[in-house]
Chain A
Amino acid sequence: AQRVTQPEKLLSVFKGAPVELKCNYSYSGSPELFWYVQYSRQRLQLLLRHISRESIKGFTADLNKGETSFHLKKPFAQEEDSAMYYCALIMNRSQGNLIFGKGTKLSVKP
């Protein structure tokens, strides 16, 4: 069963425009949600997690349990934000294996 849904394969915006990458999940318990990012020719790396409620590189994400969403937002996109973004969740913290969405490719045009 698909647990993490990222509806957009590709999102293209202009520099300075707001960005929202959507993520919805299906899980009846209390998941931990993450956003991972993969820049061109680099390895997958953690961008942020809902528990920390911090802003990284200008990105924020709020867990909405009512809508089962964890959308990633940035008010002003930069060209260096162009990358592949994956939403992921952990169902069982004692094991910690991640369940990923299919990813959204963000392209920020100059």
Chain B
Amino acid sequence: DTGVSQDPRHKITKRGQNVTFRCDPISEHNRLYWYRQTLGQGPEFLTYFQNEAQLEKSRLLSDRFSAERPKGSFSTLEIQRTEQGDSAMYLCASSSQGPEQYFGPGTRLTVT
């Protein structure tokens, strides 16, 4: 499968714990995006990488959130000291030069 992959697909954690998600984009894509989707809402932009550089961060991305894309390949999204409001589907997407974005299956986070 050459599409965008995300790991894990589901994560249940207790409030206050740290979690890390991984996204592997389509190999030749230099742009990588993270979105968050809560029930009844469309995906909301979190952050964007061009190669290894993080070029844009949404105000939704509090200081408990950090994202990296070392070497411009896979990316990780870490949430520290999780809160119940962090429960959501976290989506990753990648693209090349054009505007079309290819989405991964998402990681569903449940904070208990």
Contacts and interface: CB of A to CB of B under 8 A. Distances in A.
Given A43-B106, A44-B103, A97-B56, A102 B41 contact: yes
A45 B43 CA distance: 12
Given A43-B105, A97-B33, A90 B45 contact: no
Interface residues of A, number: 22
Nearest to A86: B42
B42 A100 contact: yes
A97 B40 CA distance: 20
Contacts of A45: 102-103
B56 A98 contact: no
Contacts of A86: 42-43
B44 A96 contact: no
B67 interface: no
Contacts of B35: 98
A96 B105 contact: no
Nearest to B105: A43
Contact of A96 (B4, B31, B104): B31
A98 B43 contact: yes
Nearest to A38: B103
Interface stretch (B16-24, B79-87, B93-101): B93-101
A49 B100 contact: yes
B109 to A, nearest CB: 17
Nearest to B44: A100
A100 B33 contact: no
Contacts of A102: 40-42
A93 interface: yes
Contact of B42 (A32, A96, A103): A103
Given A4-B42, A97-B48, 7 more contacts: A44-B43, A44-B93, A45-B102, A93-B99, A95-B55, A102-B41, A103-B42
